[in-house]
Structure 1
Amino acid sequence: MPIDNPAYDKAFEYLENGHADSSFYYFNAAKQFFLEQGDSLFVAKCLINMSITQHEKADYFGAQETALQAIPFLNENKTEHHAFLSMNYNALGMATDDIKDYPRAISFYEQAIKYSNDPQNTLVYRNNLAFSLLNNKKLEEAQQIYTDIIQGTHKSPAEYARVLANLARIKWQQDPTYPAIHEYLISLKIRKQEKDFWGQNASLAFITDYYEKQNPDSALIFAKRRYAIAKTIKSPNDQILALKKLIKLSPSDSSKYYFEIYNSLNDSLQQARIAAKNQFTMIRYEVEKNKAENLILQKDNADKAYNISRQRMWTAGISIFSVVVIIGGTFWYKRRQERLQLEAQNRIKANQLNISRKIHDVVSNGLYRVMTEIENRENIDRDGIIDRLEMMYEKSRDISYETEVTKPEQQDYHIQIAELLKSFVTENRKVIIAGNDAEQWARIHVDIKEQITCILQELMVNMRKHSQATNVIIRFDWDVDVLRIYYSDNGVGMSESQVDGNGLRSIGNRIERLNGSITFINQEEKGVNIEVLMSIL
């Protein structure tokens, strides 16, 4: 029996009424409730629906991240989980397809087919797989799939029309003289009969491409029809694609008119995508913030109750037996001495840990970075290396004297970050940096920058030592008062011992001191995804 969860029912009500933001909010709230109750299947259902909503609003990276979070909650050994595994992998495939990462999208679609137990869904997943293969220029593989599945579409005219058009498109791409227009027109006719407007949009796009070179006048006619259909289905993406064709095919006067529409629509679309992404992020942030505030309130109430109970106990004890007071006082004094001794020991340990951390950051990781540059660069900046070693020497002396002087920045921070990350580039490894904005960094206090530098350096050193990655991506996303750092690589993943190692534990401690959070998404042999969130005010 599923657990009664009003937020889950509300989420579907809003979904059916077309209120994506409210639906996303309640799915997120329902997910938290199911998580507390230990119902992993319904946690996964919430995440899958959230991912689909993000994809529909063109937040493709967000959709990917949410769908990946659902995987650990689904058990491939449980038959009742298979339908949701296939649904989730299909959602991952679509989001990955839209960012044009076709090889990975193909892998996700294959997983969706593997776990699918519904013939109709399998047909859809195979069609998606074939479309990804087609975009990846694997025409023969795509053609084989379309040829196989077209036989099973006789019960669904809309599916038959879709497969027929895609199969004709492949044949035309393989042989530009192939008369694909006949199948295109048949497919368009069926889709009109079925009132399949999205399908008509696809058919008109194929026909426009077919006529573009050999008969531009006909191509212009079908491009106009596609633009009209795209407006009917309220698809800004398809309107933009249709407008591009109209600009290209129309006379100069009309082309200028379409270009103005294109510019306005494109600006609106970009703003809508940014707003949707920020909206979903803020919904999650507010939910987590409220959760944290509730936990703090519960703790305060528990502390107050405990203090009241203790006070009553002491009062009763004093009122009844003075001997108990003496014994209690003696016991308290002993405990106090032990506590003071323990606090002194803890301060010593904390000081030792602080010095150890500084040595690790300044000396170990600094030397490791210098070694990496020397190893991977043919032309070594000898003076730059000497300056850097001298700087490490000075910082080491500061550590030995227990100084905490924060030195002024010698170089623009965005340049420091770029140089730090690019020092790990090799012939076999790319490091891609996004969002490294000088104006944004200018808002950050120098102490926070130092911590961010240490966090990034630790991540990159850990990557080089253990991951065997060939591609590393670091992305900085900026809000008014929050910075999110996304790290991902395509290496071999991390074992449990590496996740619990000193380096990553040090990262966690730093982020905790900055009132931030860190999330690991570790997939064996498929790389690592890490999200760091911290306040920057």
Structure 2
Amino acid sequence: MKLWRVNSPFFILVGVIILYSISSVFGQQQTKITNSRQEIDSSSLYYALSDKDSLSFSKRLQYIASFLDRVYLDKQDSLIYLGLMRKTKLFGKIRSYDSAFVYSQKLYDLAQENRDTIYMIKAYTKLGLYHKKNNQLAEAFKYYNEAFKISRLVNDSIESGASLLQMSNIQVTLGDYSGSKTTAIDGVKYIENTPDIKRLSGLYHIISVSNLEQKNYNEALRYNQLALDLGSDSISSKIIGKNYMLVFKNTQANIFADQKNYKKAISILSGLKDNLVIQNNKYEYARVLDNLGHVKWLQNKENTESQKLLRDALKIRNEINDTGGLIASNIHLTKYYLDKEEESKALHFAEEAYKNALELKSLTSIIEALGFVFQLKDNTNEEAKVFNETYHKLSKINQSNREIYAVTKYENDKLTNENLILKAETAKKDREKIIYLFGTIILLLAAGLIFYLLQQRHKREKIRDVFNAETRISKKIHDELANDVYHVMNTIQNNTDDHEVLDRLEDIYSRTRDISRENSSFDIGENYAQELSGMLSSYSSYDTKIIIKDIDDINWQAVKPEKKIVIHRIIQELMINMKKHSQASLVAITFRKKGKKTAEISYADNGVGVDKNEIFYSNGLQNAENRINSIGGSFIFDSEKGKGFKAKIFFRVK
């Protein structure tokens, strides 16, 4: 494959001018040269007119078509490249993506025929771009990966990093934050030693966003600051773009908001709201208004500004037809009205978000919106089908993207040992950091160990009595009753053919084992949320999807151990009841703060439901109510046959 091409497509024009200037010497060639010059002049005119913004797109497309007709006849490949590049750009601007695909493919075919790596990269990049704009993200990822492979082969670091930036962006859109972070970090390795600070800042931003979504707030802030530092002076800020710098500030506000540092987040967003650059960009202005309204609501659920800010953002996004922005606005308004217990309004905005997500073909947004629709709507059978299809499709795409890039990385590692050198340098830096921090770490570990031992001893003394009873019951059932039943089963099995008796004994044995498992111990310390989430997830299967929302919103460290045990047992009772009786395909468990001292846990499934009068008797949930009453909480059921089952648990956090 050639690693070069002609970079000045107008050399032909220069040649004709030179020939024309010496035509007095070669008088017999005068007519031929004049005709060639006229043809090239008219071709150049068509090309120039195709870029004139004052003309309609149809006219501009006609001019570029005329330009291509002429240069195709003369087989001027360098000019054909320019024509195809311009034509795909025009089709992209009018969102005629199918045509943009066709001419991008023609550009690639010509470049491949000429073994022109630069235009092969450009063609793949265009195919990635227009598939991305058309929300065909899996296809876009593949084309950007192909562009990366060629760029890497010809040692074009900037184009390699540019492709990885786009790939990581797609992974964020698909909710694959771990994969996105890996891809973006690889992109940084290609770009960081080049002058391309715009793409480097973009890669830092993607890493920051991925860490934010994974709740790695310190890393999110670190990479966000790296992106902002690149544009710290007026010249670099202009290179990166003022709009991008303001987007980085908006992300910084979101990080502080997730850390519950609402005052700092509001300060940043208020500053952005008053920025003239933001005000002149309706897309960004609506984004800032929406985020500001949401953060003000998070800070104070009773404030009088949030609703207007959220509504104003929604209005602007409707006016400019910003479908992606409308999803965010409608989700925020859903949460706002859900907290106000205005469920009809909350459902309206949840369904609007769902419609926007379908229009945009955003798989992650479809799943998020359906989580709220399911929580608020009675009959959700159709939505449940869409959820299942979307869930499996998203998982398949993310897995495919990871495999594609993994193969590419492996192939590139075979071609060069640069990655090995980079790893060695990184390991060397890590060793140096360890040496510098070694003394500090020892001190911290010693202090931490002492603190941990004291804390654990205190916890053990506090919860010992609570767990002892359950542990004894579980052990006794497991070691004595269940094993005795098992021995009786073996004895009867060897001496009787009465299968009915054996079946009944086996059922008793299974039930005793279930009782033992349900009363086993669990972590009520710092990992309580993960333990609770793991228990809930264990009830997920191919036929039943479990949605767990905002489990970390509750400050579990402030909840007393005995309350944690009760909450765990109640939710476990609901999940057991669901597994045995509901036939549900979708279950949503939502955790929310209700003020400073109260928490709410909402449970909803789309199962067969049960008559309200039969709840305690047919489903055995009386124990759950008794448990919640023992810690001063409350338990509310809502169910009808054929309309699923809902429950709400309220308890004091402190």
Relative to the length of structure 1, the TM-score reads 0.49
Q: Taking structure 2 as the reference length, what is the TM-score of the superposition?
A: 0.41
